[in-house]
Amino acid sequence: MGYSVLIVDDSATVRSSMARVFDMANLPLADLFEAENGLEALDVLQENWVDIVLADINMPKMNGIELVRSMKSNPELRNIPIAIVSTEGSQGRIAELREAGIAGYLRKPCRPEELKNLLVEVLGEWQ
Protein backbone atom coordinates (compact mmCIF):
# COMPACT_ATOMS: atom_id res chain seq x y z
CA MET A 1 0.00 0.00 0.00
CA GLY A 2 1.06 3.59 -0.49
CA TYR A 3 0.35 6.71 -2.46
CA SER A 4 -1.19 6.50 -5.91
CA VAL A 5 0.47 9.17 -8.03
CA LEU A 6 0.21 10.51 -11.58
CA ILE A 7 3.32 12.24 -12.91
CA VAL A 8 2.70 14.49 -15.92
CA ASP A 9 5.81 15.63 -17.77
CA ASP A 10 6.86 15.49 -21.43
CA SER A 11 10.34 14.36 -20.40
CA ALA A 12 10.65 10.61 -19.79
CA THR A 13 13.85 11.34 -17.86
CA VAL A 14 11.99 13.62 -15.47
CA ARG A 15 9.22 11.07 -14.98
CA SER A 16 11.79 8.38 -14.15
CA SER A 17 13.82 10.67 -11.92
CA MET A 18 10.68 11.71 -10.01
CA ALA A 19 9.98 8.03 -9.35
CA ARG A 20 13.54 7.80 -8.02
CA VAL A 21 12.93 10.79 -5.75
CA PHE A 22 9.95 8.94 -4.22
CA ASP A 23 12.27 6.04 -3.48
CA MET A 24 14.97 8.30 -2.01
CA ALA A 25 12.37 9.98 0.21
CA ASN A 26 11.12 6.58 1.46
CA LEU A 27 7.64 7.42 0.22
CA PRO A 28 5.54 4.29 -0.35
CA LEU A 29 3.99 4.05 -3.81
CA ALA A 30 0.95 1.89 -4.55
CA ASP A 31 0.64 2.96 -8.18
CA LEU A 32 2.71 5.26 -10.34
CA PHE A 33 0.98 6.47 -13.50
CA GLU A 34 2.70 8.57 -16.15
CA ALA A 35 1.47 10.96 -18.84
CA GLU A 36 3.37 13.07 -21.37
CA ASN A 37 0.98 16.02 -21.33
CA GLY A 38 -2.30 17.29 -19.93
CA LEU A 39 -4.46 15.50 -22.47
CA GLU A 40 -2.88 12.15 -21.67
CA ALA A 41 -3.24 12.93 -17.97
CA LEU A 42 -7.01 13.44 -18.36
CA ASP A 43 -7.22 10.06 -20.10
CA VAL A 44 -5.35 8.39 -17.22
CA LEU A 45 -7.67 10.07 -14.70
CA GLN A 46 -10.76 8.78 -16.50
CA GLU A 47 -9.58 5.21 -15.96
CA ASN A 48 -7.72 5.28 -12.65
CA TRP A 49 -7.98 6.59 -9.12
CA VAL A 50 -5.01 8.66 -8.00
CA ASP A 51 -4.30 10.44 -4.71
CA ILE A 52 -2.37 13.30 -6.30
CA VAL A 53 -1.26 14.64 -9.68
CA LEU A 54 2.24 16.11 -10.05
CA ALA A 55 2.41 18.11 -13.29
CA ASP A 56 4.93 20.22 -15.16
CA ILE A 57 3.82 23.51 -16.74
CA ASN A 58 5.72 23.54 -20.00
CA MET A 59 4.31 20.65 -22.11
CA PRO A 60 3.01 20.29 -25.66
CA LYS A 61 -0.69 19.71 -26.54
CA MET A 62 -2.02 20.69 -23.08
CA ASN A 63 0.23 22.45 -20.59
CA GLY A 64 0.07 22.26 -16.80
CA ILE A 65 -1.98 25.42 -16.35
CA GLU A 66 -4.57 24.18 -18.84
CA LEU A 67 -4.62 20.82 -17.05
CA VAL A 68 -5.29 22.51 -13.69
CA ARG A 69 -8.17 24.52 -15.19
CA SER A 70 -9.60 21.47 -16.94
CA MET A 71 -9.52 19.37 -13.76
CA LYS A 72 -11.04 22.13 -11.63
CA SER A 73 -13.93 22.59 -14.07
CA ASN A 74 -14.70 18.85 -14.09
CA PRO A 75 -16.89 17.76 -11.12
CA GLU A 76 -15.37 14.27 -11.19
CA LEU A 77 -11.78 15.52 -11.05
CA ARG A 78 -11.90 18.81 -9.19
CA ASN A 79 -11.22 17.27 -5.77
CA ILE A 80 -8.07 15.43 -6.84
CA PRO A 81 -5.12 17.49 -5.57
CA ILE A 82 -2.77 18.70 -8.30
CA ALA A 83 0.68 20.08 -7.54
CA ILE A 84 2.94 21.78 -10.06
CA VAL A 85 6.57 20.66 -10.40
CA SER A 86 8.24 23.14 -12.70
CA THR A 87 11.42 25.07 -13.42
CA GLU A 88 9.57 28.38 -13.28
CA GLY A 89 10.26 30.67 -10.35
CA SER A 90 8.02 33.61 -11.20
CA GLN A 91 5.94 34.64 -8.19
CA GLY A 92 3.29 35.99 -10.56
CA ARG A 93 2.95 32.63 -12.29
CA ILE A 94 2.85 30.75 -8.96
CA ALA A 95 0.15 33.12 -7.66
CA GLU A 96 -1.85 32.54 -10.86
CA LEU A 97 -1.59 28.79 -10.31
CA ARG A 98 -2.64 29.05 -6.67
CA GLU A 99 -5.68 31.05 -7.70
CA ALA A 100 -6.50 28.32 -10.21
CA GLY A 101 -6.53 25.83 -7.34
CA ILE A 102 -3.20 23.99 -7.15
CA ALA A 103 -2.46 22.18 -3.91
CA GLY A 104 1.26 22.92 -3.96
CA TYR A 105 4.27 23.98 -5.98
CA LEU A 106 7.74 22.47 -6.21
CA ARG A 107 10.63 23.78 -8.23
CA LYS A 108 12.59 21.36 -10.38
CA PRO A 109 14.91 19.71 -9.67
CA CYS A 110 13.16 18.89 -6.40
CA ARG A 111 14.85 17.27 -3.44
CA PRO A 112 13.42 14.17 -1.72
CA GLU A 113 12.61 16.09 1.47
CA GLU A 114 10.73 18.76 -0.50
CA LEU A 115 8.58 16.13 -2.21
CA LYS A 116 7.96 14.39 1.10
CA ASN A 117 6.91 17.66 2.77
CA LEU A 118 4.52 18.41 -0.09
CA LEU A 119 2.84 15.00 0.08
CA VAL A 120 2.52 15.11 3.85
CA GLU A 121 1.07 18.63 3.65
CA VAL A 122 -1.47 17.72 0.97
CA LEU A 123 -2.30 14.10 1.78
CA GLY A 124 -1.11 13.60 5.33
CA GLU A 125 1.50 11.15 6.63
CA TRP A 126 1.20 7.65 5.17
CA GLN A 127 0.20 5.28 7.99
Partner 1 sequence: MTKANENQALRKAAEIVYENSAFIFVEDISLPEASVLESWEGTALRIEYSGDAQGFLELQVQNGFAHILAQNMLGLEDGDEKIASSAADALQESLNMLCGYFLTEYYGENAVFSIGMPKICSELSLEASLKNAGIWLDAEGFMLYMCHGLSDV
Please say whether the beta carbons of 57 and 86 come within 8 A. Answer: yes
Q: Does 117 bind partner 1 (CB under 8 A)?
A: no
Of 38-46, 81-89, 98-106, 116-124, the window that binds partner 1 (rule: CB under 8 A) is 81-89
Tell whether residue 88 is a contact of partner 1 (CB under 8 A).
Answer: yes
Does residue 127 belong to the site contacting partner 1 (CB under 8 A)? no
With CB under 8 A, what is the number of residues at the site for partner 1? 22
By CB under 8 A, name the one of 90, 124, 125, 127 that touches partner 1: 90
Peptide bond into 112 cis (omega under 30): no
Per CB under 8 A, does 20 bind partner 1? yes
In the chain the beta strands, taken as DSSP E runs, fall at 3-8, 29-35, 52-55, 82-86, 104-107
Cα dihedral sign, 97-99-102-106: positive
Residue 28: exposure state from Cβ atoms within 10 A (0-12, 13-18, ≥19) = exposed
Q: Which of 47, 76, 92, 127 binds partner 1 (CB under 8 A)?
A: 92
Nearer to partner 1 by Cβ, of 10 and 51: the residue is: 10
Tally: H helices and E strands in the chain: 5, 5
Question: Taking CB under 8 A as the rule, does residue 111 contact partner 1?
Answer: yes
CA triple 96-39-41, angle to 5 deg: 85
Least separation in angstroms between residue 79's CB and partner 1 is 29
Rule CB under 8 A: which residues touch partner 1? 10-14, 16-17, 20, 58, 60, 86-93, 107-109, 111
